[in-house]
Amino acid sequence: MPYEYEKDGALIYAESFATIRAEANLARFDADEEPIAVRMIHAAGMVGLEEHIRFSPGFAQTTRTALESGAPIFCDARMVSEGVTRTRLPADNEVICTLHTDGIHGLAREMGNTRSAAALEFWRPKLEGALVAIGNAPTALFHLLNMLEAPDCPRPAAIIGCPVGFVGAHESKEALWAAQPVPCCIVEGRLGGSAITVAAINAIASRKE
């Protein structure tokens, strides 16, 4: 016998978001934050993720305003940059990942750091007022925080800091949350990753669900 399953894509989409809103504890999120949290939960397939999502005050509105003003989006990995839905971007925003830039291996060796961290050095010319999205590498988030310690470093509008993993992920996000050099969003602990980070970007980029 053939398997019976729902084949209407629009209905699947709508029912998924309705299920999240019925099951997740979203009460602490304001009207701007709630759609972002819902989409992040959807990407993770995990009701309960909301307990680990943190938005600093004004993050959602600051980030949306930046994108509407044409700010670029800097991503730590191709898995993040490729996941951004271009048709949702409000100002044909540039989506940039410099992880495979020529010379990156040599720069990483010179810095004594990972390629993910070294790639951020190529962000400086356009970093001012940008949205930064880190969904994979804790070393990238730590290096960004070190960069922003310098008073002459250009400052992004906001940071989505959701690296995933067992080494440095929790610590890098705790460091971002403690410092809050600009408005930010994190997922506490080891949780995070490209899909969750992209979901946050896409939710901010367009209010359309």
Beta sheet of 158-161, edge-to-edge order: 53-55, 184-187, 158-161, 131-134, 73-75, 95-96
Cα–Cα distance for residue pair 117/137, rounded to 1 Å: 8
Say if 92 falls within a structural domain. yes
Enumerate residue ranges in the chain where pLDDT < 50. Answer: none
Domain count for the chain = 1
Q: Per the confidence metrics, is the pTM higher than 0.85? A: yes
pLDDT of residue 77: 96
Domain membership flag for residue 28 = no
The C-alpha atoms of residue 108 and residue 111 are separated, in whole angstroms, by 5
**Farthest CA pair distance, the chain:** 67
Range of the domain at 194: 51-205
Which pLDDT value is given to residue 209?
83
Is residue 18 included in any domain, yes or no? Answer: no
Look up the CATH number of the domain holding residue 163.
3.40.50.10230
Whether 100 is catalytic is no
Catalytic site residue from 42, 52, 143, 170: 42
Residue 158 has a pLDDT of 98
Residue 30 lies in a domain: no
Q: Which pLDDT value is given to residue 1? A: 74
